A and B are shown apart, each in its own frame.
Chain A
């Protein structure tokens, strides 16, 4: 059964259509990634799913419950990690967690136990009595993640969970999220980090201008839109036009990226051989989700 399901979900701000008729099903226990450039509508979609912002049109069901009717019950099983830091600056680290636990009606002893547990999970146990403003950006992010776990959620909704983290902290977070998934916690992650999506997500949806353009496992998306490898050709401008013509006549799938040409879906090496005189200008590398992202959402800035 889909643990999160949306039907014709739409959000409009005045005349601006931010989320456009999205139908989505997230399966129980999976990690589902939402990818898209800035302004694609990811955060708006997540805000609707977490019952913070009402849809202009459409429905959302979480665990089969209509969100419009059961928002309080649904929010009790969600762990939300927002993109922007909204820790309570008037309270210490531990008080932040204790106060948050109280919003979920968790009794004090239990709240105390869980607070210490989630703090040590993200290696913040020494910061219990620190003020929020004394924490580094990375620590704040980890505290936000810890706070999102205080109610032992069935579903975690994470908006850019590792943004601004150093590589050490990023891997710590990925590791913890993978552990949580193995414990059966469903995850919905918004991210612009393609590596993150590849590492964590069972399935990803690529969003652009409020719509979901494509949805599948990262591997399947890569082989569908790019193939397993990308050939990069670097050429001078006069040679480039000639090569482009040649690529077109061979019927190959390619894209011009600045001074380079990326060629996709090369099944056999012969199809590209003889294309450039010096092999030093030809480079093949494994295809990534980022290639898919560019192919689907274009290379120009969205905003």
Chain B
């Protein structure tokens, strides 16, 4: 296995430049949509729901919305976005003919995906704070958590991107992996409302530990189990990051 170098920053810079050139076309997805969901579910549905774990419903879902949309940002960036760059625009081919290696490109894409999560997570956090849904100053750590979360989901996404035959394959990724996590990772209802078996399964979903950590930071309420959640995120990130370096090299050299 070959390792990426600091040159991967060049790929990150390229993606950053493109993003800030075209960001207005992306804004509805990562700013408008989470606000709509937060208000519609939080206020609309929340009117029929009493207190959840001692909180108003909108307070309960705010951390999960932050974690979910941070996940969506990295996932879209490193599936559809990366695939278009790789297969249609041949951007990767152009870059690996320069001093950058395939590993630099892969890592640069993942770091950029993580940055998208950081930006999305931070923006929704600020909006949630404006609605007075963020009581604890521990929430200031959430951007770091969102970046870490982004590393994990970007790595998983790039791994998938490096093995799919066509862009249509991402339908499976979102329908069978990302969307179920949105509903079964404790974003909209406490995991305890599910049957035992679903509760166990939801701990396999990588979004679950992120939702728990985000909720803890927003409320300033900690529990020893959260260390396991953090460890899980770190281990999954390292694992998928490494494997994606190998699978991406295989894809681009054959």
Residues of A within 8 A of B (CB): 13, 50, 52-54, 71-73, 75-76, 78, 80, 82, 84-91, 95, 99-100, 102-105, 151
Q: List 26 A-B contacts (CB under 8 A).
A: A50-B97, A52-B253, A53-B253, A72-B101, A75-B97, A75-B98, A76-B99, A82-B94, A84-B90, A84-B93, A85-B90, A86-B89, A86-B90, A86-B93, A88-B94, A89-B89, A90-B18, A90-B21, A90-B22, A91-B17, A99-B14, A102-B13, A102-B14, A103-B7, A103-B99, A151-B98
Inter-subunit contact A82/B100 (CB<8 Å): no
**Least distance between A145 CB and chain B CB atoms (Å):** 14
Q: Mark B58-99, 1 if CB is under 8 A from A, else 0.
A: 000000000000000000000000000000011101111111
Complex Cα spacing A72 to B3, Å? 13
Inter-subunit contact A90/B98 (CB<8 Å): no
Q: Given the complex, which residues of B lie within 8 Å of A75, measured CB to CB?
A: 97-99
Which residue on B lies nearest to A75, using beta carbons? B99
Which residue on B lies nearest to A77, using beta carbons? B99
Which residue on B lies nearest to A105, using beta carbons? B99
Contacts A75-B98, A82-B94 given: A90-B89 contact, CB under 8 Å?
A: yes
Q: Which of A52, A75, A90, A102 has the largest number of chain B CB atoms within 10 A? A: A90
Inter-subunit contact A86/B94 (CB<8 Å): yes
Q: Given the complex, which residues of A lie within 8 Å of B55, measured CB to CB?
A: none
Residue among A13, A71, A87 making CB contact with B94, cutoff 8 Å: A87
The answer to whether B10 has its CB under 8 Å from any CB of chain A is yes
The answer to whether B254 has its CB under 8 Å from any CB of chain A is yes
Interface size of B as a range: 20 to 34
Inter-subunit contact B18/A103 (CB<8 Å): no
**Least distance between B105 CB and chain A CB atoms (Å):** 10
Inter-subunit contact B97/A80 (CB<8 Å): yes
Complex Cα spacing A297 to B21, Å? 50
Residue among B10, B14, B22, B97 making CB contact with A78, cutoff 8 Å: B97
Inter-subunit contact B98/A100 (CB<8 Å): yes
Inter-subunit contact B99/A91 (CB<8 Å): no
Contacts A53-B253, A90-B22 given: A103-B98 contact, CB under 8 Å?
A: yes
**Least distance between B212 CB and chain A CB atoms (Å):** 37
Complex Cα spacing A73 to B101, Å? 11
Q: Given the complex, which residues of A lie within 8 Å of B97, measured CB to CB?
A: 50, 52, 75, 78, 80, 82
Residue among A72, A82, A86 making CB contact with B91, cutoff 8 Å: A86
Inter-subunit contact A104/B98 (CB<8 Å): yes
Complex Cα spacing A84 to B7, Å? 25
Complex Cα spacing A13 to B94, Å? 22
Complex Cα spacing A140 to B157, Å? 32
Q: Given the complex, which residues of A lie within 8 Å of B14, measured CB to CB?
A: 88, 99, 102
Q: Mark B109-145, 1 if CB is under 8 A from A, else 0.
A: 0000000000000000000000000000000000000
Residue among A53, A78, A84, A91 making CB contact with B18, cutoff 8 Å: A91
Complex Cα spacing A76 to B21, Å? 28
Inter-subunit contact A52/B94 (CB<8 Å): no
Q: Given the complex, which residues of A lie within 8 Å of B22, measured CB to CB?
A: 90
Complex Cα spacing A52 to B98, Å? 9
Which residue on B lies nearest to A92, using beta carbons? B21
Which residue on A lies nearest to B5, using beta carbons? A72
Which residue on B lies nearest to A78, using beta carbons? B97
Q: Given the complex, which residues of A lie within 8 Å of B101, measured CB to CB?
A: 71-72
Q: Which of A82, A87, A99, A151 has the largest number of chain B CB atoms within 10 A? A: A99
**Least distance between B246 CB and chain A CB atoms (Å):** 14
**Least distance between B17 CB and chain A CB atoms (Å):** 7
Residue among A80, A87, A91, A102 making CB contact with B10, cutoff 8 Å: A102
**Least distance between B228 CB and chain A CB atoms (Å):** 40
Inter-subunit contact A99/B17 (CB<8 Å): yes
Q: Given the complex, which residues of A lie within 8 Å of B93, measured CB to CB?
A: 52, 82, 84, 86
Which residue on B lies nearest to A54, using beta carbons? B253
Contacts A13-B254, A88-B89, A89-B89 given: A103-B100 contact, CB under 8 Å?
A: yes
Q: Mark B18-41, 1 if CB is under 8 A from A, else 0.
A: 100110000000000000000000
